């Protein structure tokens, strides 16, 4: 494990979807580079008319509070308050480890019962998800050109996937705490042939579709001068698309399990 990198990022991700399809995605992060440290918080809200709203800010961004199997996150400036109560066991793995740094993925709650209040909107209650990434290697040094990620937060069979494509293709598909070998990930299905399982994704509704990294870094350089010069242009221009979809999990001899899915594709 390297200690040479001057780049460190700890990024929390939380989400929740109500039965009516309204969705909230929240981020809370701390990044260090050289001698500088900055905090970041943002949220995305997909309302009942499938219209997306977002806000983000820097400094004084709150971190989550963990208490046993529960997570709480509150931001008074955004007027948002969320609680996630674990409905499935956590999963953790190291996605990258080299002389240049590591990427540690800790999925605290592959499925959680959630209650998220945003301003005066009706609360988002249903099933959600919570994870934390800790990394000491700049992501553009990991050699991938496409990232696919997603989750079905079903309490009986939570499915989470991370798929990296580029110089070498690497894929992780978890069914609960079980790492599925030979999983095949696309934007419309997650195939698990050894288990004869298939998660189909349909009815994609965009939550976000933009050059998000460029947007974040342009705001970030006010707090971290020169960070844009540190970051390669192809990485800055990455296109990120995030969807809310319906997922249907098919397993031989078992009833179909369905639920809302949040998933994304990032092209660098």
Write out 99-130 in H/E/C secondary structure: CCEEEEEEEEEEEEEEEEEECCCCCEEEEEEE
pLDDT at residue 139, as a whole number: 93
- Residue 229 or 72, more confident: 72
Token pair, residue 251, equals 């397993």
**Chain centroid to CA 4:** 27
| DSSP 8-class letter at 35 | T
pLDDT at 237 over 50: yes
Give the pLDDT mean for 168-190. 96
pLDDT at 1 over 60: no
Q: Is 118 exposed, middle or buried (0-12, 13-18, 19+ CB in 10 A)?
A: buried
- pLDDT tens figures, 3-53: 455 899 999 999 999 999 999 999 999 999 988 999 999 999 999 999 999
Phi, psi of 153 (to 5 degrees): -90, 60
**Chain centroid to CA 235:** 18
pLDDT at residue 5, as a whole number: 53
Measure the CA–CA gap between 186 and 201, rounded to whole angstroms: 9
Token pair, residue 152, equals 């079905």
Count CB-CB contacts under 10 A for residue 207: 22
pLDDT at 250 over 80: yes
Percent of the chain having pLDDT more than 90? Answer: 85
Q: What is the pTM of this model?
A: 0.94
Token pair, residue 201, equals 């994704």
Measure the CA–CA gap between 145 and 50, rounded to whole angstroms: 29
Measure the CA–CA gap between 152 and 127, rounded to whole angstroms: 9
pLDDT at residue 221, as a whole number: 83
Beta strand 257-267 with 144-152 is: antiparallel
Residue 176, by phi and psi: left (phi above 0), alpha (psi -120 to 50) or beta?
A: left
- pLDDT tens figures, 70-105: 999 999 999 999 999 999 999 999 999 999 999 999
pLDDT at residue 79, as a whole number: 97
Give the pLDDT mean for 188-193. 97
Measure the CA–CA gap between 164 and 234, rounded to whole angstroms: 16
């Amino acid at each position: 494990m390297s200690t040479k990198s001057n780049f460190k990022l700890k990024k929390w991700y939380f989400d929740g979807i109500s039965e009516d399809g309204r969705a909230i995605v929240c981020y809370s992060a701390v990044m260090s580079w050289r001698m500088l440290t900055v905090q970041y918080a943002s949220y995305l809200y997909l309302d009942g008319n499938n219209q997306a709203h977002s806000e983000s800010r820097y400094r004084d961004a709150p971190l989550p509070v963990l208490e046993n199997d529960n997570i709480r996150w509150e931001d008074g400036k955004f007027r948002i308050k969320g609680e996630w109560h674990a409905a499935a066991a956590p999963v953790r793995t190291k996605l990258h480890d080299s002389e240049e740094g590591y990427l540690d993925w800790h999925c605290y709650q592959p499925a959680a019962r959630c209650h998220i209040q945003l301003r005066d909107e009706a609360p988002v209650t249903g099933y959600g998800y919570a994870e934390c990434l800790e990394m000491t290697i700049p992501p553009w040094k990991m050699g991938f050109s496409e990232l696919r990620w997603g989750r079905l937060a079903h309490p009986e069979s939570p499915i989470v996937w991370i798929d990296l494509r580029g110089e070498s293709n690497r894929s992780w598909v978890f069914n609960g705490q079980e790492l599925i070998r030979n999983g095949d990930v696309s934007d419309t299905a997650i195939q698990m042939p050894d288990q004869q399982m298939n998660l189909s994704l349909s009815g994609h509704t965009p939550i976000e579709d933009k050059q998000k990294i460029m947007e974040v870094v342009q705001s970030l350089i006010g707090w971290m001068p020169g960070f844009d010069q540190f970051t390669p242009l192809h990485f800055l221009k990455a296109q990120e698309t995030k969807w809310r979809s319906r997922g249907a999990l098919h397993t031989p001899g078992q009833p179909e399990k369905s639920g809302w899915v949040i998933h994304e594709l990032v092209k660098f």
